[in-house]
């Protein structure tokens, strides 16, 4: 499937057609991961298992991404990048098709694991691909365009998928996801340029981990994503504790819209002020956590804190992916694979840690845990030069 088209010489404009194809790949990745949660009761009944067991379809997806991203990127280092991207997106089409037709829980678990493997491949490619498509002084903006697929999926895609699942059933919803992946394959073939892989080497992972800035980016990713998921995973429990249990959908919508604003701001400024943006995002999320903990007597103020949280978090994936791509340099894809693995470990860890805190100390402990975890994040961001302009 390799294309004869090579990356063209850098121009002064972003190649939006190609970048939006990558944005759609990010959107597809996030929506494929989270969709079972949106159609959980119907999917549980259709597969003949409990809702708890159905929830593990999300978990096994994350496991597939976490355990295979680094080995697969190392094994496919010499592949043409377009060929590898197409393989990842085709993996979504196959996995979602199997999910749509399967009546067997075990087979569905396997399909979800395969989808997670495809996600690991795609996530490892996206930031580096976007960076190579753009002029050096617009690399961060290009990554921001691609990463916009995340908040769009969270704020619009998942509610739309949930609605579609209620209206047509969960199986047609997964068929729609398969069709989207098939269309995306054609889009990538038509407009996304190709470029070569990198020389394979047994020491590539070790060498990349020693590059200046890479350990700092991975540390910030681990702790920031852990902090976010400690609270976000159990936001429904927190809102229930403060008398807003019936407003979870509204809170998530507020969070998603604010995230879109956050990524827009980051996209506009990332190529000039990435460190300042990362500091601002860290502070905003910390302030939102404190506000959530102390402003529980007022519903409007709680929603305001959720909005600040979304505003701060929205640009964080873009900032982290951009920093990893810059720090990785020619080994950007390997650095991205490491980031993807750390990200998924942190997501899983956040769910576990948040669950322990919820059981032992109650929901009001969750925002304070976020604040404590963000202290070392703030210190690391200030201490490292990893969050620097693309030309810096």
pLDDT in tens, 140-189: 788 888 888 887 887 778 778 878 888 888 999 999 999 999 999 999 99
Quickly list H helices, the chain: 16-38, 40-47, 51-75, 81-101, 105-133, 139-147, 149-152, 158-168, 170-191, 204-209, 214-232, 235-241, 248-269, 274-294, 299-314, 316-328, 332-361, 365-383
Residues of the chain with pLDDT under 50: 1-10, 392
CA distance 19 to 144: 10
- What is the pLDDT at residue 2? 40
pLDDT in tens, 56-98: 788 788 888 888 888 887 788 788 889 999 999 999 999 999 9
- What is the pLDDT at residue 351? 77
- Radius of gyration of the chain from Cα atoms? 20
**194 SS3 class:** strand
- What is the pLDDT at residue 390? 56
pTM over 0.85: no
From the list 318, 308, 309, 24, the residue with the least C-alpha distance to 157 is 24
CA distance 108 to 265: 39
Q: Which domains does the chain have, with CATH numbers?
A: 16-191 (1.20.1250.20), 202-383 (1.20.1250.20)
From the list 388, 386, 392, the residue with the least C-alpha distance to 215 is 386
Residue whose pair of structure tokens reads 């996600």 in the numeric block: 119
């Amino acid at each position: 499937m390799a294309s004869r088209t090579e990356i063209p010489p850098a121009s002064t404009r972003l190649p939006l057609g190609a970048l939006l194809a990558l944005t759609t790949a990010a959107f597809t990745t996030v929506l494929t991961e989270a969709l079972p949660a949106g159609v959980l009761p119907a999917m549980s009944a259709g597969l003949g298992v409990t809702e708890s067991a159905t929830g593990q379809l999300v978990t096994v997806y994350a496991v597939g991404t976490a355990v295979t991203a680094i080995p697969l990127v190392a094994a496919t280092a010499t592949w043409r990048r377009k060929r590898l991207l197409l393989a990842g997106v085709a993996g979504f089409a196959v996995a979602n098709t199997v999910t749509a037709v399967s009546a067997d829980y075990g087979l569905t678990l396997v399909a979800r694991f395969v989808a997670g493997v495809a996600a690991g491949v795609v996530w490892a490619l996206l930031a580096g691909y976007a960076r190579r498509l753009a002029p050096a002084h617009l690399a961060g903006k290009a990554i921001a365009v691609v990463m916009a697929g995340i908040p769009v999926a969270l704020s619009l895609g998942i509610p739309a998928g949930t609605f579609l699942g209620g209206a047509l059933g969960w199986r047609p919803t997964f068929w729609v996801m398969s069709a989207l992946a098939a269309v995306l394959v054609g889009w990538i073939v038509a407009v996304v340029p190709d470029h070569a892989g990198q020389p394979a080497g047994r020491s590539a992972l070790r060498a990349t981990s020693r590059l200046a800035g890479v350990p700092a980016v991975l540390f910030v990713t681990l702790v920031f994503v852990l902090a976010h998921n400690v609270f976000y995973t159990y936001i429904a429990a927190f809102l229930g504790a403060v008398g807003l249990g019936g407003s979870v959908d509204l809170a998530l919508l507020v969070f998603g819209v604010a995230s879109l604003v956050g990524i827009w701001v980051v996209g506009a400024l990332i190529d000039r002020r990435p460190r300042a943006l990362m500091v601002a995002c860290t502070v905003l999320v910390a302030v939102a956590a404190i506000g959530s903990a102390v402003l529980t007597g007022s519903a409007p103020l709680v929603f305001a804190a959720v909005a600040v949280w979304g505003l701060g978090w929205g640009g964080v994936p873009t900032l982290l992916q951009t920093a990893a791509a810059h720090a990785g340099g020619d080994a950007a894809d390997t650095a991205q694979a490491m980031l993807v693995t750390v990200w998924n470990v942190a997501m899983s860890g956040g769910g576990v840690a948040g669950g322990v805190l919820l059981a032992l100390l109650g929901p009001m402990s969750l925002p304070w845990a976020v604040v404590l975890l963000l202290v070392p994040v703030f210190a690391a961001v200030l201490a490292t030069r990893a969050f620097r302009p693309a030309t810096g």
